[in-house]
Amino acid sequence: MSDRKNLKFPFHWWPRQWRRRPGTDTASVSDPAATTPTPIAASDPGNDADVLTTPSTIALFEYLTGFRCESDKELFPGEGDVLRKIEAILESGESLAAWLPRPPNMLPRLLACLHGTDPSLREAADLIRVDGTMVVEVVRLANSAGMRHGDPVRGLDQAVMRLGIEGLLRVVGASLARPLFDAGRAPLLARAAPMLWRLSEEKSLLCYQQAPLEEVDQFDAYLAGLTHNIGWIGAFRAMGRQPSLRAPYSAEFAERLARLAELLFGASAEQWQLNAALGQLGRALRAAPLAETDLPLAKVLWRADCETRHKAFAT
């Protein structure tokens, strides 16, 4: 029961592969023709047909805000103040608690319990039992169409046994990340936060699927995909605290904000100390953007991010 020798997809609906759809190399949701895409080789060198292109950070910003960016080279009023504020926070090394909510304290213990060399379902159930919300989520998932076989489960112990280690890992990951994407009282996040969560869910599935290609632990990749967009939450909160900032926004602001959002994710990954892999990724992002980082986990995350954004922009 506790030996995880062969990792398998815990649910039948997990995607096997997403292909880039023709004509989706868009730099802007508003202007699909305004780009010259840079081709990216697939993780599988033998598959020449599976080629990605780098999605524009401007396109992502427009997708999240619903406003088209102006191509002016100079920053608009208020934009520089937002960028400087985020840069100052990152340089100070202070806690990001005011910008990014911290996951519950019990989650690192639960992750360690499920992800160790000898994961224990019984110990996991004992930890889950103290969180009523997570208990409901575990039982709900165990009774879902994809997992249900036989009579419905009535309690946590039955649900844990039905889900197994991999199923519980998914519940833990979602329980960790979903509250972090709560818009709260930030008006700018009212539109962006639900979209960021949907992108994160899809990205995490791709990360899980593609992790073996780079010999990366599948749950490390899954967790990275779930939390990667959290930096945008901090970025949009910083925007909301600048009264002089108004739409439309400049393209330069969108590009620089995207890099700072990536750094906010990296800093939070280090501060949260969820596991060693995410902490290492956070430190690497201080030196180089995700696309230029050589860590195997970074490669998996970057590729999944590209595929997820292409799919979102195409639809």
Distance (Å, whole) CA 114 – CA 4: 10
In this prediction, residue 5 carries a pLDDT of: 36
The DSSP bridge partners found for residue 39 are: 53
pLDDT tens digits along 115-143: 766 678 888 888 888 888 888 888 988 88
Whether this prediction's pTM lies above 0.85 is answered by no
In this prediction, residue 51 carries a pLDDT of: 57
Distance (Å, whole) CA 28 – CA 60: 8
Distance (Å, whole) CA 182 – CA 239: 16
Close Cβ partners of 92 (under 8 Å, ≥ 6 residues apart): none
In this prediction, residue 1 carries a pLDDT of: 40
Among the listed residues 185, 176, 178, the one whose alpha carbon sits nearest the alpha carbon of residue 237 = 185
Answer for the pair 252, 73: CB distance below 8 angstroms, yes or no: yes
Q: Please identify every stretch of the chain with a pLDDT value under 50, giving residue numbers as ranges.
A: 1-50
Distance (Å, whole) CA 133 – CA 121: 18
